[in-house]
A = this chain, B = another copy of it.
Amino acid sequence: MGSTRDKIITASNELFRRYGYNGTSLAQISEASGATTGSIYHFFPGGKVDLGVAVVNTTGSIYRELFEAIAGAAENPVNGVYDVFVGAAATLEETDFIDPCPIGTIAREVANVSDPLRRAAADAMNSWIDAVTAHLTAAGVDDDAARALGELSVSAIEGGFVLARSRRDASVLVRSGEQVTKLIRDAVDAAPLTQRSGT
């Protein structure tokens, strides 16, 4: 079920990443998804904004799950976030520097114009920060410190995308990941031993 709807969201996601939100037309989305204008407005009665919100919500959930999968597979809690930076850099190079994240682009374009889109973007990024915070508190870091590191991680990745795509060189993400990891290591080392988990 929802196959046409899914195709519309998937096509929009890719187009937004490549051309931005305002830079993508519904005609492009129609052609790329194989859905007609009628279908798009059937599933997204609010038009382009409705569609944008759906893309942001969907991508937000996917990336949160991706973070949890990567961080969960890390050999130790300190390296979980670093692995995400490295993975993002690899993705960027493999896709010829297409934006890996439509949310940051949409947020910057329309944060002052569309409240629904702004809120959806905030919710998505907050959910990532929640995930990083949970990951670090599980390693014994206190909540405030963990959250500050989560915010820095998300900011550094989103900002790193801008820098990496402009330069057409993703290595900055790896270097920023190393810097953030230093802070995470210090925070984990400072945690009371009794609260630490993991190896």
Contact = CB atoms under 8 A, between A and B. Distances in A.
Interface stretch (A29-37, A72-80, A107-115): A107-115
Interface stretch (A39-47, A62-70, A130-138, A145-153): A145-153
A186 B186 CA distance: 11
Contact of A166 (B122, B175, B183, B186): B122
Contact of A179 (B22, B110, B148): B148
16 contacts: A20-B22, A22-B22, A22-B109, A97-B112, A99-B108, A104-B159, A107-B162, A108-B165, A118-B165, A125-B162, A151-B176, A155-B155, A155-B157, A158-B162, A159-B159, A183-B183
Given A148-B175, A158-B162, 8 more contacts: A20-B20, A97-B111, A97-B112, A121-B162, A152-B175, A154-B159, A155-B157, A179-B183
